[in-house]
Structure 1
C-alpha cells in the first residue's frame, strides 16, 4: 500500500469540534492580521519562550518511539488560514499554490535543500527555505533568498499564531509541539512574503514529519543510512520506508539513494503511487574534480527527459558527497522546471551555475582560516555515513597535515563507530560535550570506547570552548583542527571558530 495512506491520525478525538472561527483562508488571515496589528509589548525573548516552552522532541532523551502525528499539524495549518498548501489525499496530483520541493534523507538533505533554494533564487524566484535544526538563532530556520527571518518579523509571526495556538491548547490532544509550530510559522512566513517557490527539509524521517502535511511539486531523498533507529527502525529497509513516506501519488521523485536495499524500497513506493522516479547513477550522473583551494568543478549529465543533457558548474561546498548532493539538486530543479512552465519562469544552466557557486551550508565541512596557517573545519556530522564523508574530505584535501579532532555527540548516536573512523586520522583527539541539550553524551564514556592504542593521544575536556582552545594551541603551524559529532556541538563552538578567525584578521 502506498506509504502516505498509512499515516497515523488517531491520537486526537474522532470528531474534534473546533471553536467558532472564520471559515475562509482570507477571513482567517484578515483576523490574524487584525490581532497581530494590535499594540504589543512582546519582546524577542518572550516570543522565543512561547516556542521553547512547548514539547520539543529535539531535546528529548528517550528510547521509545515518539508520538508523531499529522492530524494536529494539518489542523494548525487550516486554522492559520494557509490550508491551500495542504496535501489532499483524495486528489491525486494536487498541486500546491506555489512550487514546493520536499527533501528527506539520512545525510545531505540540508545541503541539498540549500542548493535547490540557491538555484531557484538565482533564477529570479523569491524562494523560501525551511531547515532544521538551527545553529545559533532560531530565525535561521526560515530563510527567504538566503536571508533569515528578521527578529521583528519573527515576533509578528508569533503574534499571528498565538491566538490560534492558545485556542488549540485548550482542546484535548491539539496542543502543538515546538517543531509543528516552527514548520507552520515557516509556511506562514513564506506565504505572507509572497514567495514564488518553497523548499522544505524534513526534520526527522518523513512519513510522520510535520512537513509531510503539505502538497509538493517534487520530492527527493538524498541518502539512506542508519540514524535515529529508536524512532525510524533498526534496518535500512525500515528507515527507507519511513523516508519514502513523503512521496505523494504521481508527484515526481528524485532519488540520490545508492544502497541497493534502500533503492528497492524507494522505487517500490514510487511505483505504488505512480510517481515517476529519477535515480542517481542511472538517470543522471555527476563528475567532480577538486578546485585547487576549495570546492569542486562539476559536470552533470543525464539521459532521461525532462532532465538536462548536461550542465557545468562550480560548487562552493567541499567534498565528493556534496557533489552527489549537487547532482540531486540539479535533477530536482530540472524536474521542477515543468511545474514552472505555466508561470513563464524557467531555470537555465546559468542559474544552476550561479546558485551552486553561491550556496552556503553552515557547519557542513565549513572552513575557517586561522593564524599560524591552521585550517579549522566545523562539521555537524553525527552518524556513520556523514563522518565517513568528512574523513574522505580530510584525507583528500589535507594530506600530510597534522589533524587535531574535537568530538562530542549525543546519547542516541553510534559514538563507537564514529570514533573508530576518526581516531586513526587524529594526531590528538579531544573528547567533549555540548552544554545546552540533555541528549549530550558524557565524554568519559567516549574515552572508554577507544582502544588503548588511541587513548594515549586522547583527552577529555568537558567544556567545548576550552576543548577548541586546547586543540588550536596544540596543533602545529599549518595543521588542521576539526570539530564534529553533533549539530549541538557545532552550534556551541561556531562562535569560537569565528573568534579564532578574527584573531587572524586583526
Structure 2
C-alpha cells in the first residue's frame, strides 16, 4: 500500500527496468480484473509521430469552454506523474492519486502473483481508465498513444473516434524503419465502424491508412479532401487560419501556438470536434471554438519561457519535429542569433535529427540527462557534423552558463527530448 506520492513515484520508477513490452494480452487480463473501466468511457484515441499532445490541448480547451468535463491522458510528464492524468487541465490531486494507486495495487497484487509483470506505461494507462471511469467521471477522454498504436497499451479501448496526426520515422527499433511499417502500427488504432480522421499527407502512409480503414469499414476523413485549412496570417502572437470541411463552409480560427504544424494540429482538432458535434450531439458553439482555440497552450511546444534573456523550449525529438521547428524559427525569428543546447536519446542519429537546425544556429552545446535511454554528451559531440560545438554534461549548468552570455538579439533554444526539458523545468517555473 502507498502512503505518499513519493511511494508511488518510486514504485513506478522501478517498473522502468521492465522496459517497453508491446502487446495487449497483459492489459486485457489486468483490465478484466479491474472490471473493464475502459468500456465505461467515451474516448477519442489519437496516434501519430508528432502533434498528438497539441491536438489534444486544442480539443480540451474548446470542450472545457463549452462546459464539458474532459479527461486527458498524455505522456511523458515534465515534473511528476500526476501531470499525465488531467480533468479540464487540472492534475489529479495527491490524495486521489494515492487512493487510485492503492485501489490499483489491490488488484495488481493478485494479478502479479504469477510471473507476469506490468510495465510502467501499462500501469499508468490502467490507472487513467480507472480514474476517469470511477474516481472522476468525465464526459469524454482524449487518449494519446504512447508509441505506435497497434501494440500500444492504450489500444485496449474502443473509441468513438480515432485520429492520426502525421507519420514520420521515429522509434524504428519497435515500429520499423519504413514509413509503411510505421503507418501500419499507427493505423492499428482504427476500429471496425469507427471513423478515422487524419492530417497525414505522406502518400505511402495514407495508402496504408486507407487500406486498413476499408478493411475495418471505418469512414476515413483526410486533409485536403473532407476538410482543409487556409493559412491566413502569422506573427509572434500566433497563427490565423480558415477552417473548412464537408460540414463547415468557412470558420476563422486564431491560435497562440506558433508554426504551420500547429495550424495543422488545430485543423485536426477542429474536424474531430465538428464530428462530435454532428454525430454525438456535443453542444459546441462558435464562441466556444473561438475562445478555446486561442486560449489553448501546451507546455514545451515553441514555448518562450524567458524574454530577457530570450529562451525558447520545444519538445521536438525526431527529424520531422526538427523540420517543423526550423520552419517556425525561420518564419518568426529570422533576425535572432540562435544558440542551441540539446540532448537526445541514444537510439537517435544526431545528424539525422538535428541537421534541419544546423543552418540556423551559431553554436551547439551538447549535454545529457538522467534516463536509461539517454545518449552521453560525448557521444553526441563526437558524432555531430557541426563545426561550432561544445560540451557541458550538466544541462542546468549549460543553461545557466549560456544565459549569462546572451546579448540583445540572441536566442537560447532548448530542444531534443522531453526528458531533457523535464530536468530544466525548475529553472523556468
The verdict on a shared fold, with TM-score over 0.5 as the criterion, is yes
Match among 379, 386, 397 for residue 466 of structure 1: 397
Indicate which of 119, 123, 126 corresponds to 2:69: 126
Residue 324 (1) aligns with residue 255 (2): no
Secondary structure of 2:218's partner? coil
CA contact (8 A) 1:206 1:246 kept: yes
**1:337 Cα deviation (Å)?**
2.0
Does the Cα contact within 8 Å between 1:99 and 1:217 map onto a contact in 2? yes
Partner Cα distance (2:176, 2:235) in 1? 42
Aligned residue in 2 for 1:497: 428
Residue 48 in 1 paired to residue 24 in 2?
no
1:440 is paired with a residue whose SS is: coil
Greater per-residue strand proportion: 2
Task: Tell me the distance in 2 between the aligned counterparts of 1:332 and 1:229.
Answer: 29
* Structure 1: distance between partners of 2:314 and 2:37: 37
Shift in Å, 1:177: 1.5
1-side partners of 2:307 and 2:182: how far apart? Answer: 40
CA distance in 2, matches of 1:290, 1:156: 48
| Alignment partners' CA distance in 2, 1:469 and 1:259 | 41
C-alpha displacement at 1:339, in angstroms? 4.5
Per-residue deviation at 1:401?
1.4
Q: Which residue of the partner structure matches residue 243 of structure 1?
A: 186
Q: What's the offset of the Cα at 1:84?
A: 5.6
Cα distance, 1:433 vs structure 2? 0.8
Matched with 1:3 is: none
- TM superposition shift of 1:273: 0.5
The change in CA–CA distance for 1:41 and 1:404 in structure 2 (over 3 A counts) is closer
Structure 1 residue 52, shift from structure 2 partner? 2.1
CA contact (8 A) 1:105 1:243 kept: yes
Moved more, 202-211 or 374-383: 374-383
* 1:376–1:482 CA contact under 8 A, matched in 2: yes
Instruction: Please report how far the alpha carbon of residue 314 of structure 1 lies from its aligned counterpart in structure 2 after TM superposition.
Output: 1.4
Which whole-Å CA distance do the structure 2 matches of 1:361 and 1:333 have between them?
18
- The reply to whether residue 357 of structure 1 matches residue 294 of structure 2 is yes
Alpha-carbon RMSD: 1.7
List per-residue Cα deviations over 1:48-99 (Å, max 9, x = no partner). 2222222456xx5xxxxx5312121122222222x1634xxxxxxxxxx443
State whether residues 340 and 346 of structure 1, in contact with CA within 8 Å, keep that contact through their aligned partners in structure 2: no
Following TM superposition, where does structure 1 have runs of at least 4 consecutive aligned residues deviating by more than 4 angstroms?
none
Matched, 1:112 2:112: no
> 1:396-438: CA deviations, max 9, x gaps?
111111111111101112311123222221112111111x202
Distance across 1 between alignment mates of 2:114 and 2:279: 39
Aligned to 2:158: 215
TM-score (normalised: structure 2):
0.96
Q: CA deviation at 1:290?
A: 4.4
- 2:145 is aligned with 1:202: yes
Between structure 1 and structure 2, the one with the greater Rg is 1
TM-score normalised by length of structure 1: 0.81
The one of 412, 418, 422 equivalent to 1:487 is: 418
Aligned equivalents of 1:427, 1:294: Cα separation in 2: 25
Which residue does the alignment assign to 1:297? 240
In the alignment, is the contact (CA less than 8 A) between 1:180 and 1:210 conserved in 2? yes
Contact 1:255/1:280 (<8 A) preserved: yes
Other-structure match for 2:347: 412
Count of residues paired in the alignment: 428
Which residue of the partner structure matches residue 504 of structure 1?
Answer: none
Matching residue of 1:178: 120
Output aligned runs, 1:217-366, within 5 Å: 217-302=160-245, 304=246, 307-341=247-281, 345-366=282-303
Cα separation, partners in 2 of 1:98 and 1:123, compared to 1, 3 Å: farther
Measure how far apart 1:308 and its partner are.
2.6
Maintained 8 Å contact 2:37/2:133? no
SS at match of 2:312: strand
Q: Provide the C-alpha distance between the structure 2 equivalents of 1:414 and 1:119, rounded to a whole number of angstroms.
A: 38
CA contact (8 A) 2:21 2:119 kept: no
Post-superposition offset of 1:323: 0.4
1:292, distance to aligned residue in structure 2 (A): 3.7
Offset, 1:121: 1.4
Cα distance in 2 for residues equivalent to 1:290 and 1:390: 18
1:41–1:458: structure 2 CA closer, same or farther, 3 Å change rule? closer
Distance 2:26 2:41 in 1: 23
Aligned counterpart for 2:21 among listed residues 59, 67, 86? 67
* SS of structure 1 residue aligned to 2:351: helix
Task: Provide the secondary structure at the position in 2 that maps to 1:129.
Answer: strand
